[in-house]
């Protein structure tokens, strides 16, 4: 005789949460649709990834170097490669601005010349035109404030963190990668400090919202947050944070502190990430911010000049968050934004000085973890639990590389996209599949119908590979071998070696040296006989981190560490030590 089975569903593992979840268990059948969606997603990934990887590896791969194709990873690679192509194709266009500093009795302010163009009216596309505008704007030229408009703007508090939002914020504010953020969040969860991190909801259920007061008491016991907790307005404003339907869709509510445990032992990334989560939780409970945004139009020498400024009336929730690192665009917008108080329409002003500023249009920025995650979320690529892993997979397969804080496609990654059909690269197609899986999870779509479509698509994909013509995807060619001077240095899964290894050339640089992965640019430096810049992230056999420069020794055929001089009295540039296990790649 079958017995009824209930499922325990936890979003945090504190004793109170476990007791609460035990009292709210649901029949196992209540999760059938969610289970069907998870099973269909896994089967779809398996069907497309396994078959496409084998088919295109046989057609376009090389012996010992299979390709990797996936339902989510390949469209993600396409997003990165598309941005790289935009940057390569971009041609800067010069333009000029005329900036005038006006002097009023209340103080000075800067205005930018405004033309009639709807977009970027401050841009002048000819230097001669800019000089003609500048000519009559000599010091002392009379001007007048034509209009002055101030609007009070309400800035609502942010919602709580989903994993995607947390990963984006941690990347922008802390420089953490998506995987580093997920790993740190998991450690905080395991220590009972935050709730379950793998969620794409920014909301709470009503039951969890009822525990906010208790959580505040817990957070308030830690000195770093005592004053902030005391500043939370009472009664609590939690209604905007409750959305039962969204939490049910996601499976777990937003990431918030449990209010229990101890944060005294936290350090490094774990401490920084907990601080982000705690401050976001508190900021969501604070009042809105208020700004006065002023637009000022000044006329002088028959030309009009625009000045914009922002004055903070009430910081509100913004006072809870630590300042974010300023970007270049922030700096550009802030320039000339100070407007003296007390100015009025019709007021006379004088030109203090005027100048021409040479500018040029900027290429779109390289993608970072934060901006890539935003694109993946926009196109429905992956889930909060898988996006970081997808990115790390692309990095491990050398389809993508990190350059400081940005992501770039490699030559190998771009070659792969050239031989794959458009359908497997399409973010839109994968996004449609993800929406279908959401429908399965909600009981609105049939999982068998979804998988039937996946199987049909996979057959078409394999047939495309079977009948395709084209070159094989080559590993990145870094140039002539510095040892034999005949072969080419090409990459494989373990490192970069000479193409004449069968003829006996022993040149080899492993991808990983003392726990640190080398980039193609660093390998090219070593091949040229040069010493790299100081690199961080090496690990000794005892697990201790250290930094050093690297050079390649022709005599030993090994990578060697070059350490910075410790004692100035010795007057030597550095101490060279053979990299332990460089031949084995450890």
Residue 569 scores a pLDDT above 60: no
Q: Distance (Å, rounded) from C-alpha 497 to C-alpha 45?
A: 33
pLDDT at 474: 65
State the average pLDDT over residues 31-41: 89
pLDDT band at 327 (very low <50, low <70, confident <90, very high): low
Q: Report DSSP state, residue 534.
A: P
pLDDT for the residue numbered 151: 96
State the burial class of residue 366 (Cβ atoms within 10 Å of its Cβ: 0-12, 13-18, 19+): middle
Q: Report the CATH number of the 94-156+289-360 domain.
A: 2.70.20.10
Listed residue (359, 471, 451, 573) closest to 36, CA to CA: 451
Q: Is residue 287 classed as helix, strand or coil in its secondary structure? A: coil
Judged by phi (left if over 0) then psi (alpha if -120 to 50, else beta), residue 562 lies in beta
Per DSSP, 374 falls in state: H
Task: Work out whether strand 535-539 and strand 516-517 pair parallel, antiparallel, or are unpaired.
Answer: unpaired
Average pLDDT over residues 345-371: 95
For residues 379 and 75, the answer to whether their CB atoms sit within 8 Å is: yes
Helical packing angle, 268-283 and 178-190, nearest 10°: 80
Query: Is the model's pLDDT at 215 over the cut of 70?
Result: yes
User: Which structure tokens are listed for 108?
Assistant: 């000075």
Active centre residues (catalytic): 196
> What pLDDT was estimated at residue 361?
95
Phi, psi of 135 (to 5 degrees): -50, -50
Q: Among residues 187, 163, 195, 280, which one has the least CA distance to residue 17?
A: 195
Cis check: omega of the bond before 235, within 30 degrees of 0:
yes
| pLDDT computed for residue 568 by the predictor | 52
Specify burial of residue 496 (Cβ count, 10 A radius: 0-12, 13-18, 19+): buried
With 90 as the cut, is the pLDDT of residue 332 above it? no
Q: 43-47, long-range: CB within 8 Å, 24+ apart, which pairs?
A: 43/451, 43/454, 44/71, 44/433, 44/437, 44/450, 44/451, 44/454, 45/70, 45/71, 45/72, 47/451, 47/454, 47/455, 47/458
Question: Average pLDDT of the chain?
Answer: 88
User: What letter does residue 47 receive in the DSSP assignment?
Assistant: H
Percent of the chain predicted with pLDDT > 70: 93
Structure tokens at 578: 């053979």
In tens, the pLDDT along 378-429 reads: 998 988 889 999 999 999 888 998 888 899 998 889 999 999 999 999 998 8
Q: Which CATH class is domain 163-283?
A: mainly alpha
Confirm whether 31-88+371-467 and 163-283 share one CATH topology: no
- What homologous superfamily does CATH list for 31-88+371-467? Topoisomerase I, domain 2 (1.10.460.10)
Domain boundaries, the chain: 31-88+371-467, 94-156+289-360, 163-283, 477-578
Mean pLDDT on 139-165: 96
In this structure, are residues 510 and 528 in contact, taking their beta carbons and an 8 Å threshold? no
Q: pTM of this prediction? A: 0.80
Residue 580 predicted with pLDDT over 50 = no
DSSP letter (8 states) at residue 116: S
45 close to 291: Cβ distance less than 8 angstroms? no
| Dist. CA 426–CA 422, nearest whole Å | 6
pLDDT of residue 571: 44
């Amino acid at each position: 005789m079958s017995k009824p089975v209930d499922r325990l569903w936890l979003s945090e593992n504190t004793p109170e949460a476990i007791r609460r979840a035990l009292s709210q268990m649901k029949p196992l059948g209540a999760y059938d649709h969610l289970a069907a969606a998870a099973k269909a997603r896994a089967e779809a990934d398996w069907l497309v990834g396994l078959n496409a990887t084998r088919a295109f590896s046989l057609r376009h791969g090389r012996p010992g170097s299979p390709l990797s194709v996936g339902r989510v990873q390949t469209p993600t690679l396409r997003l990165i490669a598309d941005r790289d192509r935009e940057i390569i194709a971009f041609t800067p266009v010069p333009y000029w601005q005329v900036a005038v500093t006006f002097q009023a009795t209340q103080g000075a302010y800067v205005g930018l010349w405004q033309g009639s163009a709807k977009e970027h009216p401050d841009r002048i596309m000819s230097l001669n035109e800019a000089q003609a505008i500048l000519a009559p704007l000599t010091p002392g030229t009379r001007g007048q404030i034509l209009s002055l408009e101030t609007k009070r703007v309400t800035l609502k508090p942010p919602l709580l963190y989903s994993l995607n939002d947390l990963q984006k914020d941690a990347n922008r504010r802390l420089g953490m990668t998506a995987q580093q953020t997920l790993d740190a969040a998991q450690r905080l969860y395991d220590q009972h400090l935050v709730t379950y991190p793998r969620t794409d909801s920014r909301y709470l259920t009503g039951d969890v919202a009822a525990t906010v007061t208790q959580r505040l008491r817990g957070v308030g016991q830690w000195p770093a947050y005592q004053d902030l907790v005391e500043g939370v307005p009472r009664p609590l404003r939690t209604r905007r944070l409750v959305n039962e339907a969204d939490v049910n869709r996601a499976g777990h509510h937003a990431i918030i502190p449990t209010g229990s445990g101890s944060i005294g032992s936290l350090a490094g990334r774990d401490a920084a990430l907990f601080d982000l989560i705690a401050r976001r939780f508190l900021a969501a409970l604070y009042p809105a911010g208020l700004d006065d945004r002023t637009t000022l139009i000044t006329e002088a020498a028959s030309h009009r000049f625009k000045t914009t400024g922002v004055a903070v009336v009430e910081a509100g929730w913004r006072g809870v968050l630590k300042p974010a690192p300023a970007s270049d665009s922030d700096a550009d917008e802030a320039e000339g934004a100070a407007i003296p108080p007390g100015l009025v329409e019709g007021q006379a002003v004088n030109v203090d000085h005027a100048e021409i500023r040479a500018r040029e249009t900027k290429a779109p920025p390289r993608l970072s973890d934060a901006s890539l995650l935003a694109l993946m979320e926009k196109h429905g690529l992956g889930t909060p639990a898988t996006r970081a892993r997808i990115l790390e997979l692309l990095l491990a397969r050398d389809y993508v590389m990190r350059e400081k804080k940005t992501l770039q496609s490699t030559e190998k990654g771009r070659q792969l996209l050239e031989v794959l059909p458009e359908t497997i690269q399409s973010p839109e197609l994968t996004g449609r599949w993800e929406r279908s899986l959401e429908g399965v999870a909600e009981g609105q779509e049939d999982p068998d119908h979804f998988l039937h479509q996946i199987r049909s698509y996979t057959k078409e994909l394999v047939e495309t590979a079977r009948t395709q013509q084209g070159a094989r995807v080559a590993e990145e060619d870094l140039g002539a071998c510095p040892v034999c001077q005949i072969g080419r240095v090409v990459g494989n899964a373990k490192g970069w070696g000479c193409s004449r290894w069968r003829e006996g050339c022993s040149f080899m640089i492993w991808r990983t040296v003392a726990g640190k992965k080398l980039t193609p640019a660093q390998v090219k430096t070593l091949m040229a006989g040069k010493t790299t810049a100081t690199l961080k992230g090496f690990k000794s056999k005892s697990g201790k981190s250290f930094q050093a420069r690297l050079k390649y020794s022709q005599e030993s055929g090994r990578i060697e560490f070059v350490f910075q001089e410790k004692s100035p009295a010795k007057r030597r540039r550095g101490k060279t030590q053979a990299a332990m296990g460089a031949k084995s790649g450890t």
